Amino acid sequence: MKSLEELQAIRDRKKAEINNRTTGENNIRIIVGMATCGIAAGARPVLQAFGEEIESRKLENVTLGQTGCIGLCKYEPIVEVFVPGQDKVTYVHMDAKKAREVITSHILNGKPIAEYTYKE
């Protein structure tokens, strides 16, 4: 980077990328429960695995976020997946390996993994 203009161009390009990811009508959201119960149960590696998969696969229509307590502490780590036009899917007892499987099966191929989901 050699000038202020170059830095501003990079900033503007990144802002546009973020806006496209967060406001697109086909945007998929993955939310990881990161309250103290989730963190204690291992939510940090789950969040990291999702982030690494999203980045390495260049999934521009997927937004990764975190939230506080989801209210099902005994099922932590919990991940909620929101796909436009479909019901929310809640994954429980997650780990990094399962997170990578969710990206492949659910996010890329549209097939939620029933054995990892919350059942009332």
We report the CATH number of the domain holding residue 96 as: 3.40.30.10
What's the number of domains the chain is made of? 1
Lookup: tokens for 42: 């291992």
Q: Is residue 76 part of a domain?
A: yes
Distance CA 114, CA 98 (A): 12
**Would 44 be classed as within a structural domain?**
yes
Q: Is residue 18 part of a domain?
A: no
What is the value of pTM for the model shown?
0.79
Residue 20 lies in a domain: no
Q: How confident is the model at residue 103 (pLDDT cuts 50, 70, 90)?
A: very high
Residue 3 lies in a domain: no
* 92 inside domain: yes
Mean pLDDT, rounded, of the chain: 89
In sequence order, the 6+-apart residues with CB closer than 8 A to the CB of 1 are 7, 10
103 occurs within a structural domain: yes
Q: Report the alpha-carbon distance of residue 74 to residue 55 in Å, rounded.
A: 30
pLDDT at 30 over 90: yes
Residues spanned by the domain of 31: 25-116
pLDDT band for position 9 (cuts 50, 70, 90): confident
Please indicate, yes or no, if residue 6 is contained in any of the structural domains. no
| More reliable by pLDDT, 107 or 2 | 107
d(CA 30, CA 46): 11
Cβ atoms of 33 and 68 within 8 Å: the answer is yes
